[in-house]
């Protein structure tokens, strides 16, 4: 157990000496002319908005028009639809996500003309160096937790800047540069970005199997987070309910949060009613517990209690008062594509969620079952994502749909990956049916069949939860259009 002189002392626990922190590749303290390739993507649009609001001269390009581009334009960045070599002429640096191929003509022109080319991680690192940066890392829960922490700091009048992986409902954007002391940022581990960021403090929500195409083994994933924690000079806040983060917390002297009795900051008296949670927060102090107060969280799912507790713990570590924390969380409006209720028709509730890993799916479905909404049936619609991911972990989906009354599965959304012979969504169908012989599972690889089937099957009292990180995001709207005729 970690302890402090008082339960509100923001001084971080003693930890092993930190490794040398990453160095920002670009000095953003001076004005630059910058270009963002793929600026319509959620991650790159956030980068573009932040850079423009910092005062840099920003342009960006994308293959097609996206709704988010209006927000980028509103930040006074120039946006081009389509790619052209001339767009990088005269710029100081060009940035692009790893999703943009190296042979992109703008990246090629930048290299040929000697313009600095940074991947998103390098530009994000340069932004992080301009503030006291708090990151949220982990396999899942990052976007919601980052949003919660940002809104808590805003409630406390700390004027945080933020870069989040999704639109925060309360502010209608995923990025903002305030010029204040603090930056709250989502640290993505999928391509090693988290290791490149110069950070003051960090939350790690959990560590589970994913991104083996980048790391090779799960041990390498864990090692990356071990290295990451060694670079953090300020507070480290880790999940006591996750076995991997729990172990790393002990190694790095981190403060822990969770529902576990030995967590440094614990949620107790957790109660779900009418799609919301109430719980009390206790903090370990001098060999005993100090009760800080109660939080009302207008969200479903125990996993969101943990997300809120993670943000609470970090806020306490940097000296935010509990009253501000509770007030911010009580009015938290959520994040796009996180149990996003998209409509109700004929007594059927249609929900969209980003969940795509087995534990995420189980958490979302369990949250719906235990939400207190009184839904009679849960229909789970899932679109697997990435051929390489499914080839590695398709068996892990066997018990992910335990809380669903009906499971409807479709084919894999490629997300830029190359098809692999024999790897289809049918593998997950097989895994679920073999592990749960009585489970009703339907396989519909064609989108039109999927939409029409759910429109016919759903009845009053059902909740239809479509999940995945591909184009399944539009599924609720498609079904509602059919239902409304």
% helix, strand, coil for the chain, step of 5: 35, 25, 40
Q: How many CB atoms lie within 10 A of CB 82?
A: 9
**Alpha carbon of residue 189 to chain centroid:** 11
Q: CA 88, 97, 473: angle at the middle one, nearest 5?
A: 125
Helices (H), 231-379: 243-252, 302-317, 322-330, 358-369
SS3 (DSSP) at 214? helix
Integer Cα distance of 387 and 255 in angstroms: 37
Catalytic residue among 53, 106, 186, 189: 186
Whether the Cβ atoms of residue 135 and residue 228 lie closer than 8 Å to each other: no
If we measure between CA atoms, which residue out of 87, 3, 89 comes closest to residue 38?
Answer: 87
SS3 174: strand
Q: 142 catalytic, yes or no? A: yes
On whether the CB atoms of residues 175 and 47 are closer than 8 A, the answer is yes
Q: Which tokens hold the place of 238?
A: 């880790």
Taking the C-alpha atoms of residue 53 and residue 155, their distance in angstroms, rounded to an integer, is 21
Q: At what angle do helices 218-230 and 243-252 cross, to 10 degrees?
A: 30
Residue 245 gets which letter from DSSP? H
415: alpha, beta or left, given left = phi > 0 and alpha = psi -120 to 50? left
Give the C-alpha separation, 18 to 26, whole Å.
Answer: 23
Other C-beta atoms closer than 10 Å to the C-beta of 411 total 17
Residue 327 bears catalytic tag: no
- For strands 161-168 and 173-176, give the pairing: antiparallel
The residue annotated as part of the active site, out of 95, 142, 173, 196, is 142
Tokens of 110: 């930048």
CA atoms of 298 and 170, how far apart (whole Å): 13
Q: In what order do the strands lie in the sheet with 340-345?
A: 340-345, 348-353, 462-467, 377-382, 406-409, 441-443
Q: Whole-angstrom Cα distance, residue 117 to residue 399?
A: 44
Catalytic pick from 143, 144, 313, 349? Answer: 143
Q: Give the span between the Cα atoms of 222 and 227, in whole angstroms.
A: 9
Helix (H), strand (E) at residue 46: helix 42-53
Q: What's the half-sphere exposure (Cβ side, CA atoms, 13 Å) at 249? A: 28
C-alpha distances (whole Å) from 122 to each of 42, 117, 126 are: 17, 9, 6
CA distance 158 to 181: 8
Taking the C-alpha atoms of residue 367 and residue 141, their distance in angstroms, rounded to an integer, is 14
As annotated, the active-site residues are: 142-143, 186
């Amino acid at each position: 157990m970690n302890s402090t002189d008082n339960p509100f002392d923001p001084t971080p626990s003693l930890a092993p000496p930190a490794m040398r922190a990453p160095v920002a590749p670009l000095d953003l303290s001076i004005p630059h002319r910058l270009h963002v390739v793929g600026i319509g993507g959620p991650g790159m649009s956030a980068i573009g908005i932040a850079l423009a609001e910092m005062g840099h001269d920003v342009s960006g390009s994308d293959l097609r028009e996206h709704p988010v581009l209006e927000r980028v334009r509103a930040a006074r960045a120039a946006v081009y639809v389509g790619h052209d070599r001339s767009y990088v002429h005269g710029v100081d640096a060009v940035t692009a996500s790893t999703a943009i191929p190296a042979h992109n003509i703008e990246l090629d022109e930048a290299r040929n003309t000697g313009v600095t080319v940074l991947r998103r991680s390098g530009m994000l690192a340069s932004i992080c160096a301009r503030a006291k940066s708090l990151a949220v890392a982990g396999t899942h829960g990052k976007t919601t937790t980052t949003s919660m922490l940002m809104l808590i700091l805003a409630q406390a009048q700390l004027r945080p800047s933020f870069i989040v992986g999704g639109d925060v409902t309360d502010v209608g954007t995923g990025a903002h540069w305030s010029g204040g002391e603090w930056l709250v940022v989502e640290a993505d581990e999928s391509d090693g970005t988290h290791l490149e960021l110069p950070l003051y403090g960090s939350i790690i929500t959990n560590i589970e199997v994913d991104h083996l195409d980048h790391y090779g083994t799960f041990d390498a994933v864990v090692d990356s987070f071990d290295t990451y924690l060694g670079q953090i000079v300020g507070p480290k806040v880790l999940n006591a309910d996750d076995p991997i983060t729990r172990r790393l917390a002990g190694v790095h002297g981190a403060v822990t949060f969770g529902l576990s009795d030995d967590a440094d900051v614990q949620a107790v008296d957790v109660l779900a009613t009418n799609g919301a949670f109430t719980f009390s927060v206790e903090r370990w102090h001098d060999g005993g517990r100090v009760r800080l107060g109660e939080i009302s969280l207008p969200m479903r799912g125990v996993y969101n209690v943990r997300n809120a507790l993670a943000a609470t713990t970090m806020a306490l570590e940097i000296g935010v008062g509990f009253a501000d924390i509770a007030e911010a969380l009580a009015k938290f409006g959520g994040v796009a594509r996180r149990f996003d209720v998209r409509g109700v028709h004929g007594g059927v509730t249609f929900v969209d969620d980003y969940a795509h890993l087995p534990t995420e799916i189980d958490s979302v479905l369990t949250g719906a079952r235990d939400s207190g909404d009184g839904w009679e049936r849960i229909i789970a619609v899932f679109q697997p994502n990435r051929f390489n991911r499914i080839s590695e972990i398709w068996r892990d989906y066997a018990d992910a749909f335990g809380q669903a009354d009906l499971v409807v599965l479709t084919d894999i959304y490629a997300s830029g990956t190359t098809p692999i012979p024999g790897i289809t969504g049918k593998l997950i169908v097989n895994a679920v049916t073999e592990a749960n012989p009585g489970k009703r599972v339907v396989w519909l690889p064609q989108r039109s069949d999927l939409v029409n089937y759910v429109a016919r099957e759903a009845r009053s009292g059902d909740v239809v939860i479509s999940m995945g990180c591909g184009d399944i995001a539009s599924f609720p709207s498609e079904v509602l259009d059919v239902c409304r005729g």
